[in-house]
Amino acid sequence: MKTLLKSALVAAAMLASAGAWAHGAAPGLGNFVGGFIHPLAEPAQVVALVALALLVGQQTFRRAEPAVWSLGLATAIGVAAAALSARWAGWGGTDALLLVFAGLTGVLVAVARPLPVPVYVGLAFMIGIGSGLESSPEGLRGGARIGFMAGALVGTLAWLGDAGLLVQACHRAWGKVVVRVVGSWMTACSVIVLALQLKR
Amino acid sequence: MLAWAVSVQAHEGDGMVGGFGAGFLHPLLGLDHVVAMVAVGLWGAFLGMPALWLLPVVFPMVMAVGGALGVAGVPLPHVETGIALSAIALGGVVAFAVRPPIWVAAVLVGVFAIFHGHAHGTELPSAANPIAYSLGFVIATGLLHLSGIAFGFLTHWRQGMVVVRGLGAVIAAIGFGFLFHLL
């Protein structure tokens, strides 16, 4: 019960802080912090990162590690692509990419079966690419732009790590049930929004 | 829920948080949705493992398919009737302590989920932020399931079993009320 309480408090702090930062309520902290909280402000990225965190959290630390490296590498590639190419920075398929892989990840979370390492490393890579591409700031140039993107890279890994640790804390049987149920929520959300994007 | 509510108040009613709030409230403002969702959780807890996790997982996933049909404009006849019947059927199985094979329970819940999803999906295109809206209504739906599961744990006690079955009967009665336009 104490573990649950701690997890709930950390989750509440994360969610509450997301709302406050989105207002720019921490003036003077600069572009790095803006980039750091950016993954929490983009709905598709939130859904994908939560789904991936659930999947990573279901694994042991040793099995989860390659997925975290994969996410970091891919996010860096995505950020670099968005920084170097206006075409990639403005690519309209980023949300769809994130939602497709969020949906797949949510299914795997709900099924909760042991997976070969390449499967969730691959999912982490694709979600990382999407997160990186989504982290291109509008209206920033030079050092400010680099600072924002560096913050987004660190933030993506930090939020995944936080959420993954929360999930790993759910040792009890009903905690594992909640993880699977939340995974299905991520899939459901992704499917519906993808349908909407296809219609448009 | 409290944490999200703080975020909602921090922003005005548009953008991600506004969309989330609107989506979150949507399932909670319809009594027919609420009672059916609670019944899914109640039945899951009543049946025990693996229904305890399977039913709340099947419902949102199939609901998403219904939602996609609604978004795509694919007509589904008698949606409101289907939602009312879901309350009657799911409340009824709890009231009568029905214990079918797990796949029958999953199929029954899945069929009704399509109607609920379609109803949500038809309203989605007008949402300010569709991703946040869908995230809101999916999470609210799931929390209603979890509420049902929490009530369902009363079945561990003999008197609690009576209470849970009584709650199932009330849910079925509300379903009849919607079916015959009494509510």
Tell me whether residues A20 and B63 touch, CB distance under 8 A.
no
What's the full length of chain B, in residues? 183
* Contact yes or no for B138 and A110 at CB 8 A: no
Chain B residues in contact with A180 by the CB 8 A cut-off are: 53, 57
CA-to-CA distance for B123 and B96, rounded, in angstroms?
35
Q: Give residue A18's Cα distance to chain centre.
A: 14
Q: Where are the domains of chain A?
A: 43-199
- Token pair listed for A63: 């099995």
pLDDT digits (tens), chain A, 200 positions = 444 444 444 444 444 444 433 333 344 557 777 778 777 877 888 889 889 988 888 887 777 788 888 988 999 898 888 877 777 766 778 888 999 999 999 999 998 888 888 988 999 999 999 988 888 777 667 777 778 888 888 888 888 777 777 777 776 777 788 888 888 888 988 888 888 878 77
Specify whether the CB–CB gap between A24 and A33 falls below 8 A.
no
**B8 has pLDDT over 50:** no
Closest CB to A192 among B11, B52, B134: B134
Tens of pLDDT, residue by residue over B93-107, are: 999 988 999 999 999
Q: Identify the residue whose tokens are 């999916």.
A: B138
Among chain A, residues having any CB pair with chain B shorter than 8 Å are: 11-13, 15-16, 18-20, 22-23, 41, 43-44, 46-47, 95, 99, 107, 110, 177-178, 180-185, 187-196, 198-199
Q: How far apart are CA A137 and CA A38, in angstroms?
A: 9
The residue of chain A with its CA nearest to that of B123 is: A196
Reported ipTM: the value is 0.77
Query: What's the pTM value of the predicted model, to 2 decimals?
Result: 0.75
Which tokens belong to A129?
A: 């690419």
**Any A CB within 8 A of B132 CB:** yes
Q: Between the ranges A173-182, B39-48, B147-156, where is the mean pLDDT highest?
A: B39-48
DSSP A44: H
